[in-house]
Structure 1
Amino acid sequence: MAIATVNPATGEEIQAFDPLTDEEIDRKLRLAAETFREYRNTSFADRSRWMMRAAEILEEEQEELGRIATLEMGKTFVSAKAEAVKCARGCRYYAENAEKFLADEPAELEGAFVRYQPLGPVLAIMPWNFPYWQAFRFLAPALMAGNVGLLKHASNVPQCALKIEDIVRRAGFPEGAFQTLLVGSSAVQAIIDDPRVRATTLTGSEGAGRQVGHEAGEQIKPSVLELGGSDPFIVMPSADLDQAISTAVTSRTLNNGQSCINAKRIIVHEEIADEFQRRYVEEMQALKVGDPMDEGTDMGPLAMPQLVEDLDDQVRRSVEAGARVLTGGKPQDGPGNYYPPTVLTDIPEGSPPRTEEFFGPVASLFRARDAEEALRIANDTPFGLSSSVWSNDPAERERFIDGIEAGMVYVNRMTESTPEIPFGGVKNSGYGRELSHFGIKEFVNIKTVWVTEPEGSAGEGVE
């Protein structure tokens, strides 16, 4: 894929960038390694001050940042500005808490403790769907821990990638503490293999995760993989139906339907399924699809033409297998990568909604006779990222919390990522955790220290 800004609302190429040469990559890796030797010894106070300044820049420049993200990947301007503000929140969270999270921890044996130390340059391979948040939720904990960062961003958001590096530099971090690498996917293996790179993290497709995880393993380097999901959204009779329906619509169409934690498989108890389906379809049909810069737009285009083709193919194969389309189901005519809000039902066993991730505004409705069948459907997927359960029955809630095979369960609320709680999945959704105190400890050396003082030396002969 070319490294270029292509407006997904019009198909117009705005700007193209030359990928880095091998020599330029080597210079950046050398700078990262050299910077780390000094940067690891900076104080938490200095890092915190720089990170706080990054947060201020994100807030001050949210209009410009939002415009760039909307231009490059099509998210609505309103949501793009909100993403910049969310990044500021993440920066402040780690600026305020990193020293506490990484303080020496006493062990249960006398004289023993654990010290957390940075590893070195960490490569982050990040996706286009949340072009700022995905990068900042890596860089904030990584830099606060004393690591330095290398960002290989998605090739369709180069201006976002360069802007992130610019913000970090202007915030006061030393040159080389965070660098953007404008390279294609073919360059990634060699960068992971380079001994100056000490760890890697990827948010992306299952296929990309398998490749990156394999390569990191070959080099005996730690990795964190967040590989998307097919999240269940379970609604039981005791739930607040109005809130559940509204949230299901918002969740499925968030970010134009391009989120790993969208409510992709909506599982409704048969007692309320008819009403839920009718109202859900009506609300999906009422959404305004159009110019993402228009603040009245609910949903903009998909990021790339290939995504429209893939989604259309998945819907077509689902229908061929026996599923019914209740609304939408075909790409919109005209310029831009537009796909309408779509609802499928009567989903057969083995069909795409049960086995694949739909990365676009297509919801699949399932009916369940009881909680046990709802749980079975929820777990009938190779993925296990997050989930949302709507119930006001305490015993029922506990059954789902305990039984859902996912890294996250949200009860009576929409799934989201936020700095204060860990984010990550199980099964084919990956391994490791981002955010909270768990995230900052993914890329540190958990060093055991055990000190034995010479006998009789403690204060002997001192008055």
Structure 2
Amino acid sequence: MPIATINPATGETLKTFQAYDDAEIERRLTTAVDAAAALRQTPIGQRAKWMHAAADAMQTEAEDLARMLTLEMGKPITQARAEVDKCIRSMRFEADHAHEFLADQPLSDPGAVGASKAWTTWQPLGVVLAVMPWNFPLWQVMRFAAPALMAGNAGLLKHASNVPQAALYLGSLFAKGGFPDGAFQALLISSSAVAPLIADERVAAITITGSEPAGREVATTAGRNIKKTVLELGGSDPFIVMAGVDLDAASSTAVHARVQNNGQSCIAAKRFIIDEPVYEEFVERFTAKMKALRIGDPMDESTEVGPLATESGRDELDQLVQDAAGKGAEVLAGGAKPDNPGWFYPPTVLAGLTDDMRIVTEEAFGPVASVYRVSGREEAVRVANQTSFGLSSAVWSADAEEQAWFVGTLDAGAVFINGMSESSAQLPFGGVKNSGYGREMGSAGIREFCNLKAVWKA
């Protein structure tokens, strides 16, 4: 895949970039090693000042950044602004709380281990390689970069080939805040150049957000070289609605949960599992609201759904829909590629799904919703847990006992009650099963790329 900015709304190639050669990769890796050594010796308070300064720099460039995101991957401009703002808030959160998350922990009874003092301390691993996707070009990276730098690590970013301008911006951002030269760098390289970097002894750990096949490949190479990894590999998240809830609020939230970022989000709700007594009314409301969404130019302030980021992604999504329709699924809304420029796909609702349809077990990465009718909570959980993914989930229930039951039975890294799945700097983010392992953000996220060292003193 060429390294290029292609406007998804028109299909026009706006700018192309040359991949770095071996000499440039080596130079950047060497610089990263030196930066990691410097950061390790830098007090965390100083790192926090640099992080705040980097956040200030992003703030001054916020509108230009938002327009760049929209041009590169097609998200509506209002959502692009929200992504930039989320990054700024995350940077400030990490700067303000890293010292708490990484504080030494004394053993309450050191005498039990024959010591006068004993404690644990967190120390950075070194250079961390990040392999990142295009759907949230700044946020996906920031939720790794901010905590990793605050912990004292250096970062190397291999971004998706269709968002090179976002990659280069991030590669320059932290230096603007005062971080040492090479503390965070972008690598414009092909996917084939990733494995040699993982194998390089100077790379201490790897994090990837991407497809399941890509994650397996990265994890296999890292395991062969005994490297720490964090994997976030997508999901097919359930949105469960039980009887007794506000169906207007539930259906409105469901629409937003499905089409946020043009439906291209790992934690977007994709499977809507509805209790029998409220199924007809919910689906009627949900389908009407999906049909009413405004599709168009993502630079238009009123646009709610823009184009998909790539032509291949749009084609793959349509194949899932056509497979389901051809096997008897009911298409309640949308369901066909429009015949106009750009990689648009209409908000689509499918019902009457059967296990032989690919969309039942595969991730639909775009504004396509699958609805399921179930009888009671046990069947709801069975359907929710039947995929190989387990990233996040949402449950709408008016009963506290029932809410607790769902929390205990859903196979997912998170459960959102009477809301929609979201990511934030304050909460750990990650999944189970084929959605991956490890966590980003929160106290757990900053510790993923640290060595937990036990200290014993006579």
Shorter-normalised TM-score: what interval?
over 0.9
1:15 maps to: 15
The answer on whether the counterparts of 1:265 and 1:353 sit within 8 Å (CA) in structure 2 is: no
2:28 maps to: 28
2:89 maps to: 89
Question: Which stretch of the first structure deviates more once superposed, 1-10 or 49-58?
Answer: 49-58
After superposition, residues 58-457 of structure 1 pair within 5 angstroms as: 58-110=58-110, 111-452=117-458
SS of residue paired to 1:198: strand
**In 1: Cα distance, 2:103 partner to 2:41 partner:** 15
**In 1: Cα distance, 2:393 partner to 2:245 partner:** 15
**In 1: Cα distance, 2:272 partner to 2:167 partner:** 34
Q: Which amino acid aligns with 1:80?
A: A
The answer on whether the counterparts of 1:165 and 1:178 sit within 8 Å (CA) in structure 2 is: yes
* 1:354-385 residue CA offsets vs partner (Å, 9 max, x unmatched): 21000000000000111111111111110000
**In 2: Cα distance, 1:58 partner to 1:385 partner:** 29
Shift of 1:8: 0.3
SS of residue paired to 1:264: strand
The answer on whether the counterparts of 2:143 and 2:440 sit within 8 Å (CA) in structure 1 is: yes
Shift of 1:396: 1.1
Q: Given the two structures, how large is their TM-score scaled by the length of structure 2? A: 0.98
**In 1: Cα distance, 2:81 partner to 2:391 partner:** 26
* 1:147-180 residue CA offsets vs partner (Å, 9 max, x unmatched): 0000000000000011112221111111110000
1:457 maps to: none
**In 2: Cα distance, 1:100 partner to 1:81 partner:** 30
Question: Which stretch of the first structure deviates more once superposed, 28-37 or 9-18?
Answer: 28-37
The answer on whether the counterparts of 2:38 and 2:180 sit within 8 Å (CA) in structure 1 is: no
Identity, % of aligned pairs? 54
* 1:378-424 residue CA offsets vs partner (Å, 9 max, x unmatched): 11110000000000111111111110000100000111000001000
The answer on whether the counterparts of 2:390 and 2:413 sit within 8 Å (CA) in structure 1 is: yes
Q: Which amino acid aligns with 1:92?
A: R
The answer on whether the counterparts of 1:422 and 1:435 sit within 8 Å (CA) in structure 2 is: yes
**In 1: Cα distance, 2:400 partner to 2:357 partner:** 33
Q: Which amino acid aligns with 2:69?
A: A
SS of residue paired to 2:14: strand
Aligned-residue Cα RMSD (Å) equals 0.8
The answer on whether the counterparts of 1:267 and 1:374 sit within 8 Å (CA) in structure 2 is: yes
Shift of 1:109: 4.1
Shift of 1:108: 4.2
Q: Which amino acid aligns with 1:276?
A: F
1:456 maps to: none
SS of residue paired to 1:295: coil
Shift of 1:59: 2.0
**In 2: Cα distance, 1:71 partner to 1:416 partner:** 24
**In 1: Cα distance, 2:101 partner to 2:285 partner:** 46
1:460 maps to: none
Q: Given the two structures, how large is their TM-score scaled by the length of structure 1? A: 0.97
Unmatched tracts of structure 1, length 5 or more: 453-463
SS of residue paired to 2:338: coil
Shift of 1:321: 2.3
* 1:410-450 residue CA offsets vs partner (Å, 9 max, x unmatched): 00011100000100000000000000000000000101111
The answer on whether the counterparts of 1:94 and 1:140 sit within 8 Å (CA) in structure 2 is: yes
* 1:160-212 residue CA offsets vs partner (Å, 9 max, x unmatched): 01111222111111111000000011100001111110000000000100001
User: Which aligned segments of 4 or more residues in structure 1 are displaced greater than 6 angstroms?
Assistant: none
SS of residue paired to 2:420: coil
Q: How many residues align?
A: 452
Q: Which amino acid aligns with 2:122?
A: Y
Q: Which amino acid aligns with 1:383?
A: F
Q: Which amino acid aligns with 2:34?
A: E
Q: Which amino acid aligns with 2:19?
A: P
The answer on whether the counterparts of 2:248 and 2:285 sit within 8 Å (CA) in structure 1 is: no
Shift of 1:57: 1.9
